[in-house]
Amino acid sequence: MKKATLLFLGLILFCLAGCNQGPSSVFESKQADSYADILVKKAVDGDTLVLGNNQRVRLIGIDTPEMHESSKLNRDAQRSGEDAATIKQLGRQAYEFTKELVEGKRVRLEFGVERFDKYKRILAYVYLTDGTFVNAEIVKQGYASLMTIPPNVKYADLFRQLYQEARENQRGLWR
């Protein structure tokens, strides 16, 4: 009986030690593997996706105009001097671009330093299976502004360069 109890306690301690290894733990690596090849069920808007597992992903480093009534739409209208209807129309264009780019396709996620935003959405850099960097492509084609929120700043310089080129070349929303 004592041997069985000691063996059981040892097994519990072993399991607990394994669960507390941090980012390199077996659990974390299995979780990361589940985002190495996952379906994008739908684009919610220009910078938010729903995966095949129903989790929402917010694309790091970019911001697209709003399509629906919200406090952000009102703030954007005030800040830009555009009316809400114009911003919604621009938001629809950004959504259509993102939808065409990713919906129904398989992607790989690269996580930032912070894994979730305040709305519990996954924060990620997203890549199509052909290697297309989705966040960057949306900026490059002129459908997003920049939204750099530390500590998720890994590609901020790239996004800034792509944004400037899109504006200078009047691509996407900058026509």
Residue 11 pLDDT greater than 70, yes or no? no
Q: Is the full-model pTM beyond 0.95? A: no
Q: State residue 164's pLDDT score.
A: 98
126-164 pLDDT per residue, tens: 999 999 999 999 999 999 999 999 999 999 999 999 999
Q: Mean pLDDT score of the chain, rounded to an integer?
A: 87
Is the Cβ–Cβ distance between 59 and 95 less than 8 Å?
Answer: no
Nearest one of 66, 70, 72 to 88, comparing CA atoms: 66
Element (H, E) at 41: strand 38-45
42-66 pLDDT per residue, tens: 999 999 999 999 999 999 999 999 9
The reply to whether 121 belongs to the active site is yes
Q: State residue 2's pLDDT score.
A: 54
74-86 pLDDT per residue, tens: 998 998 999 999 9
- Phi first, then psi, for residue 72 (nearest 5°) are -65, -40
The reply to whether 66 belongs to the active site is yes
Q: State residue 22's pLDDT score.
A: 42
Residue 21 pLDDT greater than 70, yes or no? no
Q: State residue 173's pLDDT score.
A: 96
133: its two tokens:
């960097």
- Give the active site residue among 28, 58, 79, 110: 58
Query: Where do the domains of the chain lie, and which CATH numbers do they carry?
Result: 32-174 (2.40.50.90)
Q: State residue 46's pLDDT score.
A: 98
- Give the active site residue among 56, 66, 69, 108: 66
Helices vs strands, H then E, count in the chain: 6, 7
C-alpha 113: how far from chain center: 12
- Give the active site residue among 56, 114, 115, 121: 121
